[in-house]
Amino acid sequence: MDIIHNIEEGEPSAADLVLDLLITHPEPHMTVQTLARAGEIMGLSTPSVRVALTRLLGQDRIVKTGRGCYAVQLLGNSVHYEVQHWFEKESRMGHWAGGWLLVHDGDVPRSDKTAWRHHLRALDLNGFRTLAAGLSVRPDNLDGGAEAMRAALARLGLAAGSLVFGGSGFDADAAARMRALWDVEALSAAYRGALKLIEDSNARLPRLAPEAAARETLLVGRTVIRGIVRDPLLPEAIQPGAPRRALIEATRSYQARARELWREVLAG
């Protein structure tokens, strides 16, 4: 399969499968039996699903909602929230007046590798790119400006000591350098590739057995949605938004079809 926004589509681990299903499932929780059945469809054994549940519980990434029932833990897990609400991503966008949001982390220690990895992930999920050593930047076109961005980054693991601020009045050369930080052609190609992935899958699904069709929708859906979650939400002046909106709408329709398929095979 293609790579969408550097996320390679492939077989999910048992933990990935559990999280994917709990995040996207229309019901608030799922039973062990249902998750084990889903694992079977995806080629995963029941013991591996049970082990994944135990580990995810220990990591506070899921919660037990009753005897043998589980739900995703959204409180304190902002990445899960981002994935669950991928379809609302564009609602954050506002008018771009040409200003920028900047994060300075040059004085942040890198010794805690896990914390630093979370810091970098927070920047990536919010569309920041490195402008210079210790300085990352993105267009200031999201609602709430620096204050809202500071809070969003903090929820995702922004390292303590980082400075988040807005800036404008850069000279023409600096502004051109900042605009060039995003590979717009690659983003456009990713939109087209993801849309084709969905269109090709939609054409195949009627010819597949129900379990095979459900399996395909999960593999395709997790690839495309994770690409959407990492979209930098660039303003129209840098990246036309129509292809992104078309992809989101196509994915929304595809996911509705996927939920129906999974409901059928899990009920059978």
Residue in the block written with tokens 């220990």: 58
- Sequence ranges of the domains in the chain: 3-78, 99-167, 183-267
Average pLDDT, the chain: 90
For 181, list phi and psi in degrees, rounded to 5. Answer: -70, -20
For 207, list phi and psi in degrees, rounded to 5. Answer: -90, -5
The mean-pLDDT minimum among 3-7, 101-105, 126-130, 236-240 falls in 3-7
Higher pLDDT, 12 or 149: 149
Tell me which CATH code domain 99-167 carries: 3.30.70
What integer pLDDT is reported at residue 77 of this predicted model? 67
Q: What's at 30, amino acid-wise? A: M
Q: Does domain 3-78 have CATH number 3.40.1710.10?
A: no
What integer pLDDT is reported at residue 197 of this predicted model? 96
pLDDT in tens, 199-218: 999 999 999 999 999 999 99
Helix/strand/coil (H/E/C) assignment for every residue in the chain: CCEECCEECCCCCHHHHHHHHHHHCCCCCEEHHHHHHHHHHCCCCHHHHHHHHHHHHHCCCEEEEECCEEEECCCCCHHHHHHHCHHHHHHHECCCCCCEEEEECCCCCCCCHHHHHHHHHHHHHCCCEEEECCEEEEECCECCHHHHHHHHHHHHCCCCCCEEEEECCCCHHHHHHHHCCCCHHHHHHHHHHHHHHHHHHHHHHHHCCHHHHHHHHHHHHHHHHHHHHCCCCCCCCCCCCHHHHHHHHHHHHHHHHHHHHHHHHHHC
pLDDT range class, residue 76, cuts 50, 70, 90? low
pLDDT in tens, 101-146: 999 999 999 999 999 999 999 999 999 999 999 999 999 999 999 9
Asked whether the predicted pLDDT for residue 4 surpasses 60, the reply is no
**CB–CB of 100/56 below 8 Å?**
no
pLDDT range class, residue 88, cuts 50, 70, 90? confident
pLDDT in tens, 52-68: 999 999 999 999 998 88
Rounded to two decimals, what is the model's pTM? 0.85
